[in-house]
Structure 1
């Protein structure tokens, strides 16, 4: 049965951005399988991750970031939860994001398969799987496909239906692809130029700063860590959710931003069908990036769900 938790509030946090690091984009041999068509069993990619140590007897916590994000989005939250709960905590870069390999395949089946390869390899199953937005859909699909790998599930401001309120995500991709920075531009000037060019399309400064965390310098040129071509080609898949018949029988929390419209009442029947033990909790004064807007509330909600 779908249960509603009482909304509560703690001191607010802020969305921050980190300085970009130098890197070289790894490209999966052969494109990672599937040729971008989302085969039923795509070949897993060797994802980039950060693992914080903890008590092996406790189910670990695994964080999956959203579209345009990376494992660094959860860096401070992962550290806090590792310290407060004593658990191992894993943050992962999805394919085509962060330091993980690029591939033309950007289906949820492929992203789930990546984790089905990584989590048992690291001895992190069953785990508490926490996914935001795109990462939440990946987490939900993995839980439905392989429930034995997921001890409990937290979907952050997303539901297992097509996302209808995010047509602007495609606009963000186009805006990033259009950014033009002269070669050998100083880093501070390059970020300012990119911010100015993005601002004509992306008015929200916090969103621009979030997108700019993906801007990095390689051999004197500024490029995006993201595989923008793959994201643009498969944006319809990213906004959708694969049709499933099975249900996930274990505890599930849908953690929502009070100022967000991503999860609508019309989604509740499908949530109940796929996740019969789901409960919902709303964090006030948080938008879609709940963990960035209200990090302390976010941490407290996860800890409460673990009890």
Structure 2
């Protein structure tokens, strides 16, 4: 675990694996209310053979800092870390909000992104009816209840309840201002009209049972990509922890 001072925050990150390993470094970016440990399975699998980097976004996990008004601000943090580590080429992997960040990075720095992997993410935020109702009620219900409702819905039916409770506890530990401000930033996110500019080979992995960001929204994004392959997995929104081995296998094959 290492740390980097950026404007208004201290970012915590892991940087492991051989510098002369297979291929360019893998960079993992987690989603809303999560932390870098969402990628534990992938980190353990890839780090023995290639350089792997993951970070806690500002205000999440072991990083400090307030919430942001735009997803672009989080992308600037990722770019600051990669510049600090002197990464000039990488495979960028993002889950949910992390996938939004990854798309912004790929658009801003096409020279930096050799390949792109988007897990449970979209290019234009369009709320499902249930998510819209949650958003409308967010100012009327206790914070923990708001977080619990979002995290509960993120998992496919049948996922172990105790594990879901643990993720709810971890998410609710994220400062309220970070949770709500970042939620607003995601609400405004829209790069759908620009993703046709992303020429890097792209893997889009999505959960069939994802009700947070439904498959039909992902397909709207996938059609806009000029060089993408889609993999749909029998899971909900939290693919990195619901089906970690399947996600790792999909990423391994793509690489």
TM > 0.5: yes
Cα displacement string for residues 241-294 of structure 1 (whole angstroms, at most 9, x for unaligned residues): 234536111100110112224243355344433x3101100112x111111111
Which of residues 242, 262, 265 in structure 1 aligns to 2:190?
A: 242
Matching residue of 2:215: 264
C-alpha separation in 2, matches of 1:139 and 1:101? 21
| Structure 2 gap segments, 5+ residues each | 156-160
TM-score of the aligned structures, taking structure 2 as reference length: 0.80
Matching residue of 1:10: none
Residues 1:48 and 2:48 are matched in the alignment: no
> In structure 1, the residue corresponding to 2:205 is in which secondary structure?
strand
> In structure 1, the residue corresponding to 2:93 is in which secondary structure?
strand
Residues 1:146 and 2:114 are matched in the alignment: no
C-alpha separation in 1, matches of 2:248 and 2:78? 23
> In structure 1, the residue corresponding to 2:47 is in which secondary structure?
helix
Matching residue of 1:283: 233
Matching residue of 1:233: 181
C-alpha separation in 2, matches of 1:288 and 1:104? 22
- Aligned-pair Cα RMSD in Å: 3.1
Which of residues 167, 181, 188 in structure 2 aligns to 1:210?
A: 167
> In structure 1, the residue corresponding to 2:11 is in which secondary structure?
coil
Matching residue of 1:62: 27
C-alpha separation in 2, matches of 1:172 and 1:55? 45
Matching residue of 1:98: 61
C-alpha separation in 2, matches of 1:28 and 1:121? 10
C-alpha displacement of 1:237: 2.0
The answer as to whether partners of 1:128 and 1:152 remain within 8 angstroms in 2 is yes
Cα displacement string for residues 121-171 of structure 1 (whole angstroms, at most 9, x for unaligned residues): 113331111111011111111111111111100000111011413347756
C-alpha displacement of 1:175: 6.4
User: Using a 3 Å threshold, how does the CA distance of structure 1 residues 233 and 108 change in structure 2: closer, same or farther?
Assistant: closer
TM-score of the aligned structures, taking structure 1 as reference length: 0.67
C-alpha separation in 2, matches of 1:55 and 1:28? 24
Which structure has more RCO (C-alpha within 8 Å, separation ≥ 6)? 1
Which of residues 76, 88, 107 in structure 2 aligns to 1:113?
A: 76
C-alpha separation in 1, matches of 2:20 and 2:142? 41
User: Using a 3 Å threshold, how does the CA distance of structure 1 residues 176 and 129 change in structure 2: closer, same or farther?
Assistant: farther
Q: How many residues align?
A: 236
User: Using a 3 Å threshold, how does the CA distance of structure 1 residues 120 and 293 change in structure 2: closer, same or farther?
Assistant: same
